[in-house]
Structures are given as structure tokens and as C-alpha cells.
A = this chain, B = another copy of it.
Amino acid sequence: MGEYVAPLKDMRFVLNNIVDLNALSKLDGFEHAESDVVDAVLEEAGKFATNVLSPINKSGDLQGSHVKDAVVTTPDGWIDAYAQFVEGGWNGISAPEEFDGGGLPSAVALATVEMWNSANLAFSLCPLLTQGAIESLLAHGTEEQQQTYLKKLVSGEWAATMNLTESQAGSDVGALRSKAEPAEDGSWRISGQKIFITYGDHELSENIIHLVLARTPGAPAGTRGISLFIVPKFLVNDDGSLGARNDLKCVSLEEKIGIHASPTAVMSYGDEGNCVGYLIGGENKGMACMFTMMNSARLNVGVQGLAIAERAYQQAVEYARDRKQGQAPGMPKGEMAPIINHADVRRMLMTMKANIEAMRCLIYLNGECLDKAHHHPDETVRAESMGMAELLTPMSKGWSTDLGVELASIAVQIHGGMGFVEETGVGQYYRDARILPIYEGTNGIQALDLVGRKLGLNGGAPVKTILADMDIVVQELAQTGNEFTAMSLQLGLAVSALKEATDWLYTNAPNDPNAAPAGATPYLRMFSTVVGGYLLAKSALKAKNLLAAGDGDKGFLDAKIVTANFFTAQILPQATALLGPVTEGANTLFAITEEQLSA
């Protein structure tokens, strides 16, 4: 199998045609994001992914991370790769220049995050978590906290973790029991045990900044009584140098199905009664801070779904071009054909390609919305963009990670028996991908977030906006000529069904507390798939215009139109058909008892 190669053509296409990179580069803070700079960044990032991260992906899986005496050792090559990652300035390319960041838009940074994760998902979790902490500190940290931690986190010299989960508090984060007691010096003493802490310990960075959710004395029950604390592995002296080792440790690592190289730690805080933490964002404001971290992390986990699918796709295409079996129609008689010439293998590859390109549109668009939400001069645009980003986030996370698993599985299938053999490497993607629909809020939680919070956000404004833009695309397709008639029809049907499902949820959710939860998962799938179809259709329109102007890579643009056609003809009907399942309500779900389910 070859190393990963960044799909620069498609990344650039999405950044210039779905995202308006040119407009982003005119916003405050993104002055350097000019087209040629972005091009150069992506190209260098691609090289780094191919040459540094990709070659240690499989060896990392085989070797895994290990813990001994509370010290975690990562696989061979990890330390060196991380040092190069920091050295290259990759860790903070979207952080503000004020903190030595690259000042690039999220939309661009997401393309690099995609590359890191395609090349080596287990490695890339370390910077992914650091990124969440950076955003949390930027949004909620005091100036002193920002000065103390941000530059080191932005550079990557220090890494960070997110500590939410406890054994009794998973999806129900409000059930957590870790404690924070005030100390005389204004800091806090943290105690408790956290599980599933990604990169909870490692030797890649000189310090690790743990962000830990805990309860202060007398805090209200549930999510309203949660506070967030900065808990460094090594305390930081006033001059910025490292001080005493804090009272926290890695107790054990989980044996997992995949991402073996990423240490998933049980962390214990305050065993000696002296774990120092610093409140961030105010007492009982932990949920707000957590959402800052999580929204970043959720979008980035969505990228992971896209990334693992892309990696699996590249390997599947390569295998399908090499492997010869059977005769294919139209191929020379008597010779075995590369399996890429068999219709069913084509179907699998096109299914991967179309979904991947749709996800890329959704995710980069989601990033652009965040960029505008933070950097646009017009307050109204900022608010609207934030609304749209929030609407898209559960789709980016939920849909892309479900697809990550499904498409990795297709890549295994394309490899036949070799796909089930670890040697090929494609099995690793299937195993690694399986965590993605679970962590950073299970996809069930994403679906509840979509129907429970995001549909009603700003009086439903983001939903109305995107549905209206879908209508425009349907119209444009219809007006553009015969080649887009079928696409217009299919997309139109899907948009109608989506509107009907959405209306049903608006109407029924207030009366039946189980109506929206019952339909949440098919609704997320439906909405995301329709968004995917709409963005690919938009891509096809753009491609047609570019072709008409004689602009760009003809082969690539032709393929874009075919891919959009494939998506609307082959994939979109499944979304349209989810109208029934969404609007069935909870009837058949609760019509039998627990005992009947067990019988």
C-alpha cells in the first residue's frame, strides 16, 4: 500500500467554490490567507502528512501506546514526528497571531486537520485535543491564563486534554462527581477519577494541560453545577518555566478495537490531596466552556470521519487498479481485468468518492461559518454565521463519522479476503473508524442536539436559511439545461421531504416528549445527506461554469459533475425515504416492554 497523498485538487475546489476563501482572506485576522499562501500551506502540509505521519501509522497501530508506573510510552517515531509537527508550526496554524499562531481561517486549518488524520488518525488526536483547549482558553480564559498557557499550546510545546467522562457520567456529563475545593491562594484542589482521556499522558510534549470538569462545594446538581479547571501536569512558575509535578497520574490505558497508538487513559487527580487546578470561565460555568471545547472537537471529529474515509478510499482505488480478477465487459477477451472495471467495484468506489466529497463540502463550510462568526465585521453576519455553524456541527460530526465507519467497511470489501488480513492496512481504518461515532458526544447525542437545540435556534433561522438556499440550487439546476434535470428533480424531492420532516418535528415535538428523540437519528441522516447532495449539486454548477470559462482542470471538473449526479441518483433517494421513519414517532419503539426485547 502506498502512503497517503493529500487530495489537494478537491480541497482547493471546495475552499474556492463552496467556501469563499477570497472573502475570508479579507476579514480581520486572516490577512495572510491569500490564495497563494493557502496553496503553499496546503502543499507543505500534504508533504508532511505523506512523508512524516503516514509512514508511522501502521507501525503505531501494531506497537500501540503502553503505560508503566504511570508513565505512557508512545510508539516508535511518535516523539520525532511530534517534534517535527511543532517545529513546522502546524499545531497552531489557525490560532491568532497574537499568540504566535498562523492566523489562518478554520476552513483552511480543517484541510490540514483532514490531512493529519488521513495520514495517521491516532497521532492526530493529540493536537486535536490541544486545539480544543486553545479555543477554550481564547474564549473563557483570563488574560493571565491566556498569557501563561496559550503560546505554549499554540506552538504545541505543551499539549492538552479534555476530562469530562467518569464511569457513571458519559453522555450524561451532569452526573460527574469529581470535586474542586477552594485553596487559600485562590487556586483549587481537584480530586476524582476520569476515564477515556485521550492522550492523558505521553512524552511528546514537556507539559500537558488537563482541562478538568469538577464540582465546587455546594454546586447545584446536574450540568448547572459543573466548573472547568486548568490542571497542568507540571505547575507553571511565574516566569513561565516548569515547576512542581502536580498530583495527577495515568492509572491505566484501555485495550481498544482501534487507535491503538492513541493512549486512552484512566486519570486520577488528587490521590495525595494536592492536585492544583485553576478555575476557568467562572464557577458553575463549566458547561459553557465545555461546549466551546466540544464544538471545536466535534467538528474536528467530523473531519476524522472524512479523513479515514479518504485514506480508505485512496487505498481501495489503488487496490482496485492493481488487482486483476475475472473478465469485465468491454475489456480485452481472455485477459483478467483490474477489478476497477467491474461495475460493482465501481459502485463501491463511487459511493466512497461521492460521500467523501459531500462531507468535505459540509465540513469546510462549517469551518467557514465559524470563521465568519468570529471575524466578520458585521454583528448580524457574525450571529447568523454562528447559528449556521451550530446547525451544521452535529451533522459534520454525526454524519461524517457514521460514514467514516461505513466507507471504511466498503474499502475492506473492495480488498476481498485481503481486506480482512491486517497486513493490508485497510482493516486498521475499519477498526480505528469505529470510535468516531462514539466519542465527543455519541451520534445519538448529536441527533438529539440537532432536533432538540439546533432546529429551534434563533427561531429556526439557520434551518430556514439553508432550506431556502437549497431551493435556489434546485431552481438553478433546472434552469441550467438537460444535463442537470435529473439532479434537480432528485434534489427537489429530497428537499421537499426534508421540509416535511422538519415541519413534522416542529409540530409534534412540543406535544410528545419522545417524538423528536424517536426521529432524531434518521432525521440527522436525512438532513445531512440532503445537505451533501445540495452542496455537491452546487459544486456541479460551479464546475460547469468553470468548464464553460475554460478555467481549471477539465478532468477534475467533469468528474465533479459525474460525482454529483451519482450522489443525487444513488444516495439521495435513501434520504428522501427517511421521511416515513422520521415521522413515525415513538409508537413502535415503546410498544413492547424491556422483557419483550429480551425474550
A contact set with B: CB distance below 8 Å = 7, 9-10, 165, 168, 170-172, 175, 195-196, 254-258, 317-318, 321, 324-326, 329-330, 336, 338, 340, 342-350, 353, 405, 409, 412-413, 416-417, 419-423, 427, 430-431, 434-435, 437-439, 442-444, 447-448, 490, 513-514, 517-518, 520-522, 555-556, 558-559, 562-563, 565-566, 569-570, 573-574, 576-578, 580-581, 584, 586, 588-599
Contacts and interface: CB of A to CB of B under 8 A. Distances in A.
Given A257-B430, A342-B517, A566-B588, 9 more contacts: A255-B422, A318-B598, A343-B589, A412-B438, A420-B435, A555-B596, A569-B584, A570-B581, A573-B581
A586 B569 CA distance: 12
Main secondary structure of the interface of A (DSSP, over half): helix
A326 B420 contact: no
Contact of A590 (B336, B346, B580): B346
Contacts of A578: 573-574
30 contacts: A165-B417, A171-B325, A171-B326, A175-B325, A255-B421, A256-B421, A256-B422, A257-B431, A317-B594, A317-B598, A318-B598, A321-B594, A330-B514, A340-B594, A343-B517, A343-B518, A343-B586, A344-B447, A344-B521, A353-B597, A420-B435, A431-B431, A556-B599, A558-B592, A559-B599, A562-B596, A566-B589, A570-B581, A573-B580, A573-B581
B597 A584 contact: no
A175 B336 contact: yes
A110 to B, nearest CB: 20
Most chain-B Cβ atoms within 10 A of its Cβ — which of A168, A330, A412, A420?
A420
Contacts of A10: 599
A345 B444 contact: yes
A283 to B, nearest CB: 23
B412 A434 contact: yes
User: Could you say how many copies of this chain the assembly holds?
Assistant: 2
A589 B416 contact: no
Contacts of A573: 577-578, 580-581
A524 to B, nearest CB: 10
Contacts of A344: 444, 447-448, 517-518, 520-521
B417 A326 contact: no
Contacts of A170: 325, 416-417
B588 A569 contact: yes
Given A346-B590, A427-B257, A588-B566, A417 B439 contact: yes
Contact of A172 (B326, B353, B437, B566): B326
A326 to B, nearest CB: 4
Contacts of A444: 342, 344-345, 348, 413
Contacts of A577: 573-574, 576-577
Contact of A437 (B256, B318, B413): B413
A343 B437 contact: no
Contacts of A420: 254, 256-258, 434-435, 438
Given A555-B595, A580-B569, A584-B569, A434 B422 contact: no
Nearest to A221: B334
A434 B409 contact: yes
Most chain-B Cβ atoms within 10 A of its Cβ — which of A350, A421, A434, A592?
A592
A302 to B, nearest CB: 16
Contacts of A427: 256-257, 434
A573 B423 CA distance: 39
Contact of A597 (B336, B340, B342): B340
A416 B170 CA distance: 8
Given A257-B422, A580-B573, A438 B409 contact: no
Nearest to A579: B573
Given A326-B172, A569-B581, A196 B417 contact: yes
A584 B570 contact: yes
Nearest to A561: B591
A334 to B, nearest CB: 8
Contact of A565 (B342, B412, B566, B588): B588
A395 B2 CA distance: 35
A490 B584 CA distance: 13
Contact of A434 (B324, B346, B430, B594): B430
Given A350-B588, A353-B597, A517-B344, A413 B431 contact: no
Nearest to A598: B317
